[in-house]
Amino acid sequence: MTFERWLVLQKLYNDYASSLDDGPLSDWPDFFTEKCLYLIQPRDNYDAGLPMAVVRCESRGMLQDRVNAVQETIMFEPRYLRHHITNIEADDASSDEFQVRANYSVIEVLNDDLPRILSAGRYLDTVVLENGLLRFKEKRVIYDSVLVPNSLIYPL
Amino acid sequence: MGEISSINWPAGDFTRVPYRLYTDADVFEREMERIFQGSTWAYVGLESELAETWDYLTTQIGNRSVVVTRDDKGELHAFANRCAHRGVKVCRQQRGNSRFFICPYHQWSYDAEGRLRGVPFIKGVGGKGGMPDDFSQDDNALPRLKVAARNGVIFASFSEDVEDLEDYLGETNLQYFDRVFDGRGLKVLGYSRQLIPGNWKLMFENIKDPYHASLLHVFLVTFGLFRADQESRVAMDDTGRHALLISRKGEQKVSASISDIKNLKEDLVLADPRLLDPVKEFPDDATVVMQTIWPNLIVQQQSNTLALRQIRPRNAGSFELHWTFFGYEDDSDEMQTRRLRQANLMSSAGFVSADDSEVIKMAQDGVRQYADDAGLLLLDGRGTKDTPHMVTEVALRAFYKHYRKVMGL
């Protein structure tokens, strides 16, 4: 991976994390192409080739539907998340579509509890250059922490 | 086991449930002994997960780890997952294929029926040590469980005396069990696991409680998937331990009869309607059937999502909810994708189910702090019989009628 690509990706993933951590959540679908695939999958399903994902969005519209559900319909305790994304690696095969893998961990803080790791795992992404902007065409969130502490409300 | 003395049922019937039942460690221990190790059939897995000879899986009945296997004659077996020697788990994988299970500590090995087949240094080394002459491998097999399977679903019991699975389910619950498990091959789509900080009964009760479904679950109500004004009914078995909530899909509109629902989002539309594109797939008109099978299983058919939710209690204050999503072997690709899309409503991140894991935590927080008090189950009176509607807590009262008897509390 060239240094330039690494820098550009650092910026993309930093923006992604900041957007999810500090909002507004309505910006989240803009990180994706119109037709896209966003999956949150436990590691054991991924390893076994089982298709079930706890979150599955196949378009920016479905991402928007999840934003609406979080904002309008799901009942949950207030919480704050902090995404930490490291070890970003990408291929250099092409200049406008490339594969990226990165580690992530997300700290969750609830009102009456100590901070805890909500989820830890890796991103397996396809990033494309679209109208001068980098967007996710595919983002698979594979979590090693197979046992979810209660609920996953916000995106990873 | 500790003496349980402080359980007070203030109403003398099943309309007031002591909060201590959700918090007390001695109550929990008695539940493990009398319910999960008692005369019950606990769900342990699907036959399609053990398709090949020597396939195995590990699961949990109550707070005990159990291994389920298939032998070379196609027979299913289940045995306690703890070495006869020092109690170490002999199997640490979720699923796999192996003819023998070898304890990592001193390499005692067991076969697919849990029989002890090998003990290193049994005759000593160079004439030194070894097991006494009266040591018998046959006497040290792993405790076996009784196993029963129906249409691809496997149950096991620690009790030798448990009745036949079919009698255990009862006529109506068996009929609805066979509605989803109709003999077609089942295809596992994947798993989802949650650790929920609440008492296990709160989960079981949640699926016997249609009152909350029509109020808490704004997503279901908004899109007409479950509503108090729909044609629906609650059906149980003679004991009250199992229950069925059976309902038919309605419209996304406000009617006078549901104007109590404060959160209805009448104007919410899906940006991508493929998310909810239900098709009729069962012979009857029911679009939702939620079945609780005592003591550890929820069979879910909500539109086209099919799942088995297994309750794995850890202690009085927490349980694992283990989801197995499935379809049928003869599903088209389109149908499988539909099931996977609708799974967005379910499990840890579900538009509907996340409401439940969140509210169960809140309930546990409340009862823990006020354990001497008792909850109220008075909706639709004091009865424990089937009702032709959903505005009722009848299945919770029936559950506690059975629970009290089994627990001797």
Question: Is the pLDDT at B241 greater than 90, yes or no?
Answer: yes
Query: pLDDT at residue A58 above 90?
Result: yes
Per-residue model confidence (pLDDT) at position A1: 83
Q: Nearest by CB to A150, from B189, B271, B361: name it.
A: B361
Domain span at residue A23 reads 3-143
Buried b (16+ CB within 10 A) or exposed e, B81-104: bbbbeeeebbbeeebeeeeebbbe
**Number of domains chain A is built from:** 1
> In this structure, are B210 and B301 located in the same domain?
yes
A151 domain-assigned: no
| Shared-domain flag, residues B125 and B248 | no
Domain-located, residue B22: no
Residues of B with CB under 8 A from a CB of A: 94, 188-197, 216, 218-219, 222, 263, 265, 268, 270-272, 274-275, 320, 325, 336, 340-341, 343-344, 347-351, 354-355, 357-359, 361-362
Q: What CATH code is carried by the domain that includes residue B83?
A: 2.102.10.10
CB B72 within 8 A of CB B57: no
Do B255 and B216 fall into the same domain?
yes
pLDDT computed for residue B219 by the predictor: 86
Question: What's the farthest any 2 CA atoms get from each other in chain B?
Answer: 88
ipTM over 0.95: yes
Q: How confident is the model at residue B230 (pLDDT cuts 50, 70, 90)?
A: confident
Q: Which of B192, B274, B331, B368 to mutate to test the interface with A (most CBs of A within 10 A)?
A: B192
Task: Look over chain B and give the mean of its residue pLDDT values, rounded to a whole number.
Answer: 94
Say if B112 falls within a structural domain.
yes
**Would residue A83 count as lying in a domain?**
yes
Q: Which residue has better confidence, A147 or B260?
A: A147
Q: Give a yes or no: residue B161 inside a domain.
A: no
The pLDDT score that the predictor gives to residue B261 is 64
d(CA B345, CA B305): 9
pLDDT of residue B266 exceeding 80: no
pLDDT surpasses 90 at B214 = no
Q: Are residues B133 and B218 in the same domain?
A: no
Q: Is the pLDDT of residue B258 over 80?
A: no
Residue A16 within a domain: yes
Q: What is the nearest CA distance from B225 to chain A, expressed in angstroms? A: 14
pLDDT at B400 over 90: yes
The answer to whether residue B264 scores a pLDDT higher than 80 is no
B304 within domain boundaries? yes
d(CA B243, CA B266): 31
How does pLDDT run across B309-365, given as a tens digit for each residue? 999 999 999 999 999 999 999 999 999 999 999 999 999 999 999 999 999 999 999
pLDDT (tens digit, 9 = 90+) per residue, B320-332? 999 999 999 999 9
Rg of chain B taking only CA atoms, in angstroms = 23
Chain A residue closest to B198 (CA)?
A150
Residues B81 and B196 in one domain: no
Residue B164 counted as domain residue: no
- Give yes or no for A149 touching B (CB within 8 A): yes
Contact, B43 vs B154, CB < 8 A? yes
Here the CATH number for the domain that contains residue A76 is: 3.10.450.50
| CA gap B245, B228 in Å, rounded | 12
Q: Is residue A7 part of a domain?
A: yes
Rounded to an integer, the average pLDDT of B400-409 is 96
**In this structure, what CATH number is given to the domain that contains residue B273?**
3.90.380.10
Residues B134 and B224 in one domain: no
- Whether B257 has a pLDDT exceeding 60, the answer reads no
pTM: 0.96
**Percentage of chain B modeled with pLDDT above 90:** 86
Residue with the bigger pLDDT between B1 and B93: it is: B93
Q: What is the pLDDT of residue B90?
A: 97
Q: With cut-offs at 50, 70 and 90, classify the pLDDT of residue B218.
A: confident
* Count of the separate structural domains present in chain B: 2
Least confident window among B136-145, B260-269, B305-314: B260-269
Residues of the domain holding B75: 42-149
